């Protein structure tokens, strides 16, 4: 009889009512002391552990929490502090911790980028001149806390050394081995202290093993885990992977660890086990419940899959767990009061997923009959969800079948289009703009809440939005921007807003997940076929354009990003859903153009993050992404200018795809990367126009004119002045009015000086 253990990889940090977010932001506003912050987040942390225990979970993760980001926590634990921040060794104080993440008046924040192919952002470690040391044993502190205060013998979670270094910057590849050897003794000390404290199971996260690492790195990794095993032999190390199957499967499952954690939702893990077997001396930790989506599991199918997996496990123990940390899903469905009951019955957030895991573990160990009631309830849930009349739309399926190749191509090449656009728009040298959103003040958020609750009328709400648009059009004109935006005051979020407007979507009231820092988003639910319902952005865009002679951008979120930042039900192929979204956006683009909007921005910040971890799957993903974007945008006339925007990315990976999008102008979030992305455009020919973000909007600091001017000057080494747009890194909704206006004024002052200097050069 197989011993079956239920486990979790990580739990949402934010709290059922985003208590964690509110505590952080109160601390940053100096409305809460450091002690109060630590007490509040500590209370939340213990409540989360207690809840998992009461739900029946056996292996409960500890140390998976964070005040900002778990990768930053790892950097800080090892004293990896960028030299521009004051630090004299020892435990890192909170001011320095948050300064690295958010920047200060005198020092820019560390780069922030996507955590593999998710919408979670991590703070990139900077290893240049690093002298790693242990500043505190965080996993040990959290292990002791759970044991002493709650009687929980938890499973400490540690970011593994291979993943940590591969996600870091500030060193050359040839120095990887040397750096690894500097960190390994520190990891060993952490593990030995955990062993001495009585810890048993230790989860070491190495999601990097789902990517195409070299054989040399795999060999070095094996040596690392051999040392771990030798130095802390009593610990049961779980080498945990997720987001994809293990690429070097045969090598990695032979590492000297007690257990291998595998994702059986994404990738081909079961096929690998069937083809190559599984070591007889190891426990398999099977990620069977989708940790990145919110739909109820088909428990009978999952149980059958687990039974198939068990056939290959000879160690006598099998761990049942989610495919990834539940950080990526909301806390509990119980908070949802307004959803259609059929849709709600189809949902499982973090708490409900833990119940599924506990149920599956019980059914696998004690037999299917022991969970017959749960299986019956699960079938009823699924049947009710599938009976929803809005799930299938034959008309949009037929429309999609009738799309041909001409629907995804502009009528003329860029070189001819751009001349017509310049004649139409009459923009100056170095045209300036913003990315789209403007400050979502407390008043904006409160008024939207009042409207949703029915406390003010639709007419009152519409007037409030118009007043904000009018005010900010005037502010933008006064600052001197060339291409304006309406500000998106009517939008809670760049994806959720469209989820509220399209058929086949639904939205939650409390389905929040962490994106970065205290920033939380509410991904909409794609429960059926997606189709256009009515104009979504035309009213606000047309009103804004009526207030100014300068062009105002129509602002849409692209099909790839809407797909990647939504919870999409898996019974329709993802690329089919993506094309349905593109077809709906195409109709909106056409309406914007018909109503006089000459510049239309279709944002795709999630294009790079959606890349599969396994490079063999990249081509099909990128081809589908390019197809969908072009389907959404190619309907416009030559003189209408299509923009797009992308967030932090390793653009070398997708340079050809960016070009293939055939957008007239692309803006890219680059300032936190300290100019490194510029080299990509030095090494590659890019004929279209481009704006590399000239200041960081994720930080509250207001950059100086000289700082922005230097950023522009650096970028001119790679980008022709005739193709260069000037813009902030990203949207400005998270910044306040003072920060926004101050930074934009500095940007315009810098541009004016650059224009004069470039004009003088051209006259020589």
> Count of CB atoms within 10 A of residue 227's CB?
17
Per-residue pLDDT at 732 exceeds 60: yes
Per-residue pLDDT at 227 exceeds 90: yes
Give me the mean pLDDT over the 636-642 stretch: 97
Strand (E) or helix (H) holding 121? strand 121-123
Per-residue pLDDT at 251 exceeds 80: yes
Give me the mean pLDDT over the 12-25 stretch: 96
User: Would 571 be classed as within a structural domain?
Assistant: yes
Of 36-50, 394-408, 649-663, 747-761, where does mean pLDDT reach its minimum? 649-663
Give me the mean pLDDT over the 501-515 stretch: 96
User: Would 749 be classed as within a structural domain?
Assistant: yes
**673: domain CATH number?**
3.20.20.210
529 labeled part of a ligand binding site? no
User: Looking up tokens 């999952």, which residue turns up?
Assistant: 302
User: Looking up tokens 């990139």, which residue turns up?
Assistant: 124
Distance CA 675, CA 686 (A): 17
401 labeled part of a ligand binding site? no
pLDDT on residue 648 = 60
Identify which of 231, 225, 242, 235 has the alpha carbon closest to the alpha carbon of residue 286: 242
DSSP 598: -
Give me the mean pLDDT over the 47-76 stretch: 97
Give me the mean pLDDT over the 700-723 stretch: 87
Q: Coil, helix or strand for 538?
A: helix
Give me the mean pLDDT over the 17-28 stretch: 96
Pairing of strands 259-263, 283-289: parallel
User: Would 755 be classed as within a structural domain?
Assistant: yes
User: Would 702 be classed as within a structural domain?
Assistant: yes
370 labeled part of a ligand binding site? no
User: Would 470 be classed as within a structural domain?
Assistant: no
453 labeled part of a ligand binding site? no
Residue 674: burial class (beta carbons within 10 Å; 0-12, 13-18, 19+) = middle
Of 221-225, 290-294, 591-595, 753-757, where does mean pLDDT reach its minimum? 753-757
- Report whether 36 contacts 530 (CB < 8 A): no
Distance CA 266, CA 570 (A): 12
User: 369-372 contacts: CB < 8 A, separation 24 or more?
Assistant: 371/299
User: Would 222 be classed as within a structural domain?
Assistant: no
Any catalytic annotation for residue 276? no
Per-residue pLDDT at 667 exceeds 80: yes
pLDDT on residue 695 = 87
pLDDT on residue 734 = 87
pLDDT on residue 207 = 98
Of 182-191, 594-603, 611-620, 662-671, where does mean pLDDT reach its minimum? 662-671
User: Would 130 be classed as within a structural domain?
Assistant: no
- The per-residue pLDDT for range 131-151, each reduced to its tens digit, is 999 999 999 999 999 999 999
pLDDT on residue 572 = 84
pLDDT on residue 677 = 61
Tell me the residue range of the domain where 703 lies: 412-439+482-500+535-763
519 labeled part of a ligand binding site? yes
User: 146-154 contacts: CB < 8 A, separation 24 or more?
Assistant: 146/46, 146/49, 146/60, 146/62, 147/198, 149/46, 150/46, 150/49, 150/50, 150/53, 152/49, 152/53, 152/60, 152/62, 153/198, 153/199, 153/200, 154/49, 154/60, 154/61, 154/62, 154/63, 154/199
pLDDT on residue 649 = 57
114 labeled part of a ligand binding site? yes
Instruction: Label residue 12 by pLDDT band (50, 70, 90).
Output: very high
Give me the mean pLDDT over the 91-120 stretch: 93
Distance CA 346, CA 527 (A): 9
- Choose the catalytic residue: 248, 486, 569, 698: 698
Give me the mean pLDDT over the 689-700 stretch: 85
Of 333-347, 576-590, 687-701, 740-754, where does mean pLDDT reach its minimum? 687-701
pLDDT on residue 427 = 96
Per-residue pLDDT at 764 exceeds 60: no
Per-residue pLDDT at 440 exceeds 60: yes
Identify which of 708, 744, 740 has the alpha carbon closest to the alpha carbon of residue 438: 740
Count of the separate structural domains present in the chain: 1
> Count of CB atoms within 10 A of residue 380's CB?
11
Give me the mean pLDDT over the 381-387 stretch: 91
pLDDT on residue 403 = 93
For 189-241, give the secondary structure using H, E and C.
HHHHHHHHCCCCEEEEECHHHHCCCCHHHHHHHHHHHHHHHHHCCCCEEEEEC
Instruction: Label residue 430 by pLDDT band (50, 70, 90).
Output: very high
Q: What's the mean pLDDT when you consider all of the chain?
A: 94
| C-alpha to C-alpha distances, 427 to 421, 596, 667, 751, nearest whole angstrom | 9, 17, 17, 14
Greater confidence (378 vs 113) lies with: 378
CA atoms within 13 A on the CB side of 127: 21
- Percentage of the chain with pLDDT > 90? 85
Give me the mean pLDDT over the 522-537 stretch: 96
Give me the mean pLDDT over the 671-687 stretch: 65
Give me the mean pLDDT over the 424-452 stretch: 94
Residue ranges in 662-730 assigned as alpha helix (H):
678-683, 705-715
């Amino acid at each position: 009889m197989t011993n079956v253990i239920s486990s979790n990889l990580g739990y949402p940090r934010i709290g059922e009512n985003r208590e964690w977010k509110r505590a952080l932001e109160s601390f940053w506003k100096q409305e809460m002391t450091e002690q109060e912050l630590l007490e509040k987040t500590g209370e939340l942390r213990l409540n989360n552990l207690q809840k998992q225990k009461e739900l029946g979970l056996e292996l409960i993760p500890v140390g998976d929490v964070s005040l900002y980001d778990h990768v930053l926590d790892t950097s800080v634990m090892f004293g990896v502090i960028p030299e521009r921040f004051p630090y004299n060794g020892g435990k890192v104080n909170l001011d320095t911790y948050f300064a690295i993440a958010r920047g200060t008046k005198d020092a820019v924040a560390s780069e922030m980028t996507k955590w593999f192919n998710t919408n979670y952002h991590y703070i990139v470690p900077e290893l240049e001149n690093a002298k790693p040391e242990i500043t505190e044993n965080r996993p040990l502190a959290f292990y002791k806390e759970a044991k002493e205060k709650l009687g929980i013998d938890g499973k400490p979670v540690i970011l593994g050394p291979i993943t940590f270094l591969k996600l870091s910057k500030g060193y050359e590849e040839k120095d990887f081995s040397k750096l690894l050897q500097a960190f390994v003794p520190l990891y060993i000390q952490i593990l030995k202290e955990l062993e001495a404290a009585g810890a048993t199971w230790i989860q070491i996260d190495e999601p990097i093993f789902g990517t195409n690492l070299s054989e040399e790195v795999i060999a070095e990794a094996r040596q690392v885990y051999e040392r771990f095993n030798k130095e802390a032999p009593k610990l049961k190390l779980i080498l945990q992977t997720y987001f994809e199957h293990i690429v070097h499967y045969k090598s990695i499952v032979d590492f000297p660890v007690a257990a291998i954690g595998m994702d059986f939702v994404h990738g081909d893990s079961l096929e690998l086990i069937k083809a190559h077997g599984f070591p007889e001396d190891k426990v398999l930790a099977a990620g069977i419940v989708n940790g990145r989506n919110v739909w109820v599991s088909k428990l009978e199918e999952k149980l059958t899959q687990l039974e198939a997996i068990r056939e290959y496990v000879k160690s006598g123990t099998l761990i049942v767990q989610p495919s990834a940390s539940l950080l990526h899903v909301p806390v509990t469905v119980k908070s949802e009061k307004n959803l259609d009951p059929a849709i709600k019955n189809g949902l499982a957030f973090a708490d409900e997923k833990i119940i599924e895991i506990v149920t599956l573990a019980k059914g696998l160990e004690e037999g299917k009959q022991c969970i017959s009631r749960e299986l019956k309830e699960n079938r009823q849930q699924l049947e009710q969800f599938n009976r929803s009349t809005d799930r299938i739309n034959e008309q949009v399926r037929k429309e999609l079948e009738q799309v041909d190749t001409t629907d995804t191509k502009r009528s003329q090449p860029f070189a001819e289009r751009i001349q017509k656009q310049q004649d139409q728009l009459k923009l100056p040298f170095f045209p300036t703009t913003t990315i789209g959103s403007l400050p979502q003040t407390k008043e904006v958020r409160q008024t939207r809440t009042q409207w949703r609750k029915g406390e003010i009328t639709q007419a009152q709400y519409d007037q409030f939005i118009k007043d904000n648009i009018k005010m900010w059009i005037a502010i933008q004109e006064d600052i001197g921007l060339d291409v304006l935006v309406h500000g998106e005051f009517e939008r809670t979020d760049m994806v959720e807003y469209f989820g509220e407007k399209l058929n086949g979507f639904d939205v939650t009231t409390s389905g929040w997940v962490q994106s970065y820092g205290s920033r939380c988003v509410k991904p909409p639910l794609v429960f059926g076929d997606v189709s256009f319902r009515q104009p979504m952005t035309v009213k606000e865009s047309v009103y804004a354009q009526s207030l100014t002679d300068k062009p105002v951008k129509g602002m849409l979120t692209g099909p790839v990003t809407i797909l990647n930042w939504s919870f999409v039900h898996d019974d329709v192929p993802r690329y089919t859903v993506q094309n349905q979204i593109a077809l709906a956006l195409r109709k909106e683009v056409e309406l914007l153009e018909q109503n006089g909007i000459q510049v239309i921005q279709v944002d795709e910040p999630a294009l790079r993050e959606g890349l599969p971890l396994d490079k063999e799957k990249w081509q099909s993903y990128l081809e589908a992404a390019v197809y969908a974007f072009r389907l959404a945008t190619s309907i416009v006339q030559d003189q209408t200018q299509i923009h797009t925007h992308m967030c932090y990315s390793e653009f070398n990976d997708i340079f050809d795809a960016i070009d293939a999008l055939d957008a007239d102008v692309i803006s890219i979030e680059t300032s936190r990367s300290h100019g490194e992305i510029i080299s990509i455009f030095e090494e590659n020919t890019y004929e279209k126009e481009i704006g590399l973000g000239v200041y960081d909007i994720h930080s509250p600091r207001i950059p100086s004119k000289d700082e922005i001017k230097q950023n522009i000057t650096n970028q001119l080494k790679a980008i022709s002045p005739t193709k260069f747009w000037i813009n902030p890194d990203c949207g400005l909704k998270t910044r306040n009015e003072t920060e926004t206006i101050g930074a934009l004024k500095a940007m315009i002052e810098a541009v004016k000086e650059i224009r004069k200097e470039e004009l003088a050069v051209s006259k020589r």
